[in-house]
Structure 1
Amino acid sequence: MKLTEKETEILEILEGNSRLTAETVGKMIECTAEETERLIQGLEDRKIIIDYQATVDWKKVDGHEGVTAMIDVKVTPKRGVGFDDIAERIYRFNEVKSVYLMSGAYDLSVVIEGRSMSEVARFVSEKLSTLDSVLSTTTHFILKKYKHDGKLYDSGEEDRRMMVTP
């Protein structure tokens, strides 16, 4: 879909900070607030802007640390629908946050969130690996986030390791 230069500018601005007002965005692209609101509404109506999200550093909230895992999934594609059918079956699980068709050794990359490693393991063993088309899985647990969706995660902690020099 071909976009105007103003629409593209709006997307770039909102992707960086979706909390900006239409008035502020309008000043940045040299449009009125009303014209900017109309352009944003058009982008939303055409499903180019899908959602507005807050990025939360959950490890800083007691009791909400959780576990995120990236699971490589090897599947047998079905005739006529390829990978779409199995991908849809996978993304319908509540635990699943993202599903991507990948090139390389595995076909799908699945991102899930759970309260514990055991919960993630149960999901893989009881739900994901039991699907007919799934041949194998490899689970990778995220140990620490440094940067996500372009946002840096600052631990706020100083590095307390002793410097060792030769």
Structure 2
Amino acid sequence: MNIEIKVLELLEQNPKLSAEEIAIMLNEKKEEIEKVIKKLEDEKVIVKYHTIVNWEKTEKEVVEAIIEVKVTPQRGVGYDAIAKRIYKFPEVKAVYLLSGNYDLHVIVEGKTMKDIAHFVGSKLAPLEYVLSTATHFIMKKYKDAGVILEDGEKDDREVITP
């Protein structure tokens, strides 16, 4: 496996790792790791360093929803143009092209369910080329971006007594 892949895997698991720490882990020189990271950032392979927050443990009121969107692809650009229009809305956290019953998977965030309903009804659904939407509110997150959000895994096995 090449050094770039190894560096990416380590940073994906822990973006706070320093070049020096990565160098020690990979038995490489710090300067070499710094060059690799700089190259990956310049090439937009590393796009952003991200913190995962469990908002349920804070006082901030956040509601997230997954919206499945059926669209008509545009001649010459397919789904890209409508996806771009959708991802430019500030409420939108992510947009993915899917296979299956819906074309786009849109993740949105608002302060209330009403905020999200307003976004869907007044901004998303009326867009040209949007045929239909299906909104699913996220009730609880158990795991996000590969990280388990609950406080430790509980042992649910029953005690067996002789």
Q: TM-score, normalised by structure 1?
A: 0.89
* 2:140 is equivalent to residue 144 of structure 1: yes
Aligned to 2:28: 31
Distance 1:54 1:107 in 2: 28
Distance 2:111 2:101 in 1: 29
- Paired amino acid for 1:17: N
Shift of 1:61: 1.0
Match among 87, 91, 105 for residue 87 of structure 2:
91
* 2:111 is equivalent to residue 115 of structure 1: yes
- Paired amino acid for 2:39: G
Shift of 1:141: 0.6
Shift of 1:131: 0.3
CA RMSD for the aligned pairs? 1.8
User: How many equivalent pairs are there?
Assistant: 156
- Structure 2 counterpart SS, 1:79: coil
Aligned to 1:81: 77
* 2:8 is equivalent to residue 8 of structure 1: no
Percent identical pairs in the alignment equals: 51
* 2:33 is equivalent to residue 17 of structure 1: no
Shift of 1:155: 4.6
Distance 1:111 1:132 in 2: 19
Q: TM-score, normalised by structure 2?
A: 0.92
- CA offsets, 1:84-113, max 9 Å, x none? 110000000000000011000000000000
Structure 1: gaps spanning 5 or more residues: none
CA 90–70 in structure 1, closer or farther in 2 if over 3 Å, else same = same
- Paired amino acid for 2:49: Y
Shift of 1:33: 1.2
Distance 1:68 1:81 in 2: 29
Stretch deviating more after TM superposition (119-128 or 26-35):
26-35
Distance 1:155 1:24 in 2: 28
Aligned to 2:126: 130
- Paired amino acid for 2:103: D
